[in-house]
Amino acid sequence: MMKKFKKSELKEFEKILLKEREKILKGIDYATGQIAITQTEASGDLSAYANHMADQGSETEKRELSSLNISRQRETLFSIDHALRKIAHGRYGICEKCGKLIEKKRLKIVPYARFCIKCTDK
């Protein structure tokens, strides 16, 4: 029979995942709001004069970095949701490559890990 985590351990991981999920959703909401602000509003210059090209370039770079950050956060959110579904179906903490139990120490650091350390290193 394959080893699994106890129900109490699963509840502990579920709490960690839900807390992390909430934190990421708040971060996505904030970053999305920052991107949505028009360039004139972001610069604080509400006058009719155009912004300097260098200022526009800096603002564009900030928006692109924010957009990249949102994409990464959404990927993490997807992984968290996947881990929560695995808890619900009794498959949480099992490596998706080798089928062995992922170390509890690893899951405390990366609670949405899909692979054990050995399979990650391969």
Which domain covers residue 37, as residue numbers? 7-42+52-121
Instruction: For residue 47, tell me if it sits in a domain.
Output: no
Query: What pLDDT was estimated at residue 52?
Result: 61
Instruction: For residue 22, tell me if it sits in a domain.
Output: yes
Q: Are 21 and 77 in contact (CB under 8 A)?
A: yes
Domain CATH code at residue 14: 1.20.120.910
Q: How confident is residue 65, by pLDDT bands cut at 50, 70 and 90?
A: confident
Q: Answer whether residue 108 shows pLDDT above 60.
A: yes
For the chain, the domain total comes to 1
What is the rounded radius of gyration, in angstroms, for the C-alpha atoms of the chain?
21
Instruction: For residue 99, tell me if it sits in a domain.
Output: yes
Instruction: For residue 24, tell me if it sits in a domain.
Output: yes
Q: Which two three-digit tokens encode residue 50?
A: 């155009």
What is the pTM assigned to this prediction? 0.77
Cβ neighbours of residue 89 under 8 Å, at least 6 residues apart?
none
Q: Answer whether residue 39 shows pLDDT above 90.
A: no
Instruction: For residue 1, tell me if it sits in a domain.
Output: no
- CA-CA-CA-CA dihedral for 14, 82, 108, 11, to nearest 10: 20
Q: How confident is residue 46, by pLDDT bands cut at 50, 70 and 90?
A: low
Q: How confident is residue 63, by pLDDT bands cut at 50, 70 and 90?
A: confident
Query: In residues, how long is the chain?
Result: 122
CB crowding 54-91: b at 16 or more within 10 Å, else e: eeeeebeeebeebeeebeebeebbebbeebbebbeeee
Instruction: For residue 81, tell me if it sits in a domain.
Output: yes
Q: What is the mean pLDDT of residues 32-61?
A: 63
Query: What pLDDT was estimated at residue 51?
Result: 61
Query: What pLDDT was estimated at residue 95?
Result: 96
